[in-house]
Amino acid sequence: MASGDPADNLPAGYVPPAVWTWDKPSGGAFAAINRPISGATHDKDLPVGKHPLQLYSLGTPNGVKVTIMLEELLEKGHSGAEYDAWLINISQGDQFSSGFVAINPNSKIPAMLDRSIDPPVRVFESGSIVFYLAEKFGEFLPTEVHKRAEVMNWLMWQMGSAPYLGGGFGHFYAYAPIRIEYAINRFAMETKRLLHVLDTQLGKCEYVAGDDYTIADIANFTWYGNMVGDAYSAQEFLSVHEYANIRRWVDLVGARPAVQRGRMVNRGFGDPAACLRERHDARDFEVNTEEKVQARGGTRI
């Protein structure tokens, strides 16, 4: 462990205790919902819709991976991929309900139940869900050993890199209660290194794992598309214009109709015309966007 002069620490004079205790809020945008223990805080059952696949999520990068995947499967004609998407409001602690914790003991979105199997299969972690769906429907995951390994390499790479982008750079740049130069520099360096890794790869092939669109593209698009888009209002700071190959790929993937639909689902923020808080049928994209629901006084049809 590094040891410096406590006078140089932040706050000045701070020395880590021998044993950390949770005796005061840490501050920041999500302090009210963070805690050092797992488990439910309240009893509440999750709603269940009419389709075999029940998704409990929020339109964050991790949540959008799954809704894009499901919309892509439906686009290919897999009727068994019809799903109900229920919004989990993490700012209100919905992820700590007994029903949600029963599906995901880690209390993070997204979480999914596959009720087409008896007993139902629970699936949590966004990478696990898109992999499960790819295997279930035989799409977006090649069977040839070299191609399959490459897709899994880049899927796991994304899962490993996301904490540096969000919990690291995003937190300290946009959400922490104070700006800490060391923390921002540490995670900005890592974020730019990761952007360079992906940009270099996309300079060699059309899609992330080769010539075909796969779950590696779906998983990476939701994070890296945002990083060169509008995430954390940090695009000038990170000089994202430098990553021309990523921007080419983001435009390519972002033009897919299923991607455009998937990005709308479980969104309770942003342009009301592009937000669909819940999704129970393809018709919802036409009649139940947040803009139209608000115009009807909050009524879904």
pLDDT tens track for 186-234: 999 999 999 999 999 999 999 999 999 999 999 999 999 999 999 999 9
The total number of structural domains in the chain stands at 2
Residues forming beta bridges with residue 207, ordered by sequence position: 210
Residue 83 lies in a domain: no
**Nearest C-alpha neighbor of 254 from the set 237, 286, 229:** 229
169 with 250, same domain: the answer is yes
Residue 3 lies in a domain: no
229 with 255, same domain: the answer is yes
**Nearest C-alpha neighbor of 30 from the set 215, 170, 230:** 170
Query: Which domain range does residue 237 map to?
Result: 145-261
Query: Do residues 137 and 79 touch, judged by C-beta distance below 8 A?
Result: no
More confident residue, 179 or 34: 179
Mean predicted confidence (pLDDT) in 77-93: 97
167 with 188, same domain: the answer is yes
| Amino acid making up residue 235 | Q
Residue 249 lies in a domain: yes
Residues forming beta bridges with residue 85, ordered by sequence position: 55, 279
223 with 283, same domain: the answer is no
- pTM for the model: 0.96
219 with 290, same domain: the answer is no
160 with 257, same domain: the answer is yes
178 with 160, same domain: the answer is yes
Question: Confidence band (pLDDT; 50, 70, 90) for 24?
Answer: confident
210 with 281, same domain: the answer is no
